[in-house]
Amino acid sequence: MYFPYLRGRQYELLALRELANNNLLGDYVIPIIEPVKLSPTLVNTMADFIKTNHPLSVIRNPAVGTFMSDWQDVQEETKEAGYKQRFADQYENPIIIKSMIMQRNARALLKHWDKHGVNKEDLLVINTDRDYLDLYETAFGEVVPRFALMPDESVFRRKVRHHKVLLDDKFEKQERNADYQDVVDEFFSDDHLYYKEDGFVGFSDYSVVGNEYLEAGFAPYAVAIHIVYFANNGSLKVRHFVSDSNEDITNPALKFYQAVSKLAEWYNADPHPVQLTEGLKIFLQHYEQQSYPGLGTVKKLSLMHHLELMGRYLSEV
């Protein structure tokens, strides 16, 4: 099982919706959403996964963003109140996996769920802070959660013993997009090859986005497209396609065309270096039409490509 861990930004949610609605995730990919705000796109994404009967993990106590304060500050008879009600209703659907981060508010959330008859064995639990491992051991000493995400570190291996999912940030994020020109092609991951023999039931990463979370975006000097592909030895690599006119922030459409032109040239080699996915197909259409979809869509398409590629791989092994 593969558990791509995504923050609930607009482009990430739209990527998941498109994949779910077109049945492109496969049976062995369960996305995890850490919602960063209470939004219509979030509840629409949950609705699409329920409609397509595809499991989706949604964290109820996110550590980043404004979701928790959004939830508390909702005023009656507002559109936000409608989002809150839809979220609450959809969160009771068994397709939505109730999920939590072991952190300061975890104890209160566990008590709330216990009071409302939520079974601990149905939960997905994320352990990344060693200070809360004792609480994890106490809470799940007798009843094991459905999935327990953790880094591959000895202190976590000692405390988390069952239904373990390996969580690691595989994306080597550069300070600036232009810096990817210095590492055009690099190793991404081989967890999919070894997770079972290492005692895990699945593996998780932050795809080509990375774990770092920033509230606000900014206009980049360079446009970079990140495409994951399989190397000859079965490991995953990531190739970076970067624009050339990177002296200032003007003309992002030209920057995108420069980057996507490099992607098209790489893909059109014989044989193709990677399978054609929906995300990659749309990139190539933008190249042929010389159209610019916007930076959010660039990230969405790279993400779609990675998740569809992994879904295909896991359905075949």
Predicted confidence (pLDDT) at residue 289 exceeds the cutoff of 90: yes
The reported pLDDT for the residue numbered 269 is 93
Number of alpha helices (DSSP H) and beta strands (DSSP E) in the chain: 11, 11
The reported pLDDT for the residue numbered 91 is 95
> Are 205 and 169 within 8 A, CB to CB?
yes
317/314 Cα distance (integer angstroms): 5
Stretch (H or E) spanning 80: helix 79-91
Q: How confident is the model at residue 76 (pLDDT cuts 50, 70, 90)?
A: confident
Q: How confident is the model at residue 75 (pLDDT cuts 50, 70, 90)?
A: confident
159/130 Cα distance (integer angstroms): 10
Sign of the alpha-carbon dihedral angle for 242, 244, 248, 249 = negative
Spatial CA neighbour of 91 closest among 146, 143, 29, 35: 35
Q: Give the tens place of pLDDT for each residue, 202-259.
A: 999 999 999 988 776 678 899 999 999 999 999 999 999 999 999 899 999 999 999 9
Rg (CA), the chain: 20
| β-pairing verdict for 32-34 and 56-59 | parallel
The reported pLDDT for the residue numbered 220 is 87
Predicted confidence (pLDDT) at residue 113 exceeds the cutoff of 80: yes
Mean pLDDT of 58-86: 91
CB contact set of 83 (below 8 Å; sequence gap of 6+): 38, 39, 40, 42, 43
| β-pairing verdict for 124-126 and 147-150 | parallel
> Are 151 and 133 within 8 A, CB to CB?
no
CB contact set of 289 (below 8 Å; sequence gap of 6+): none
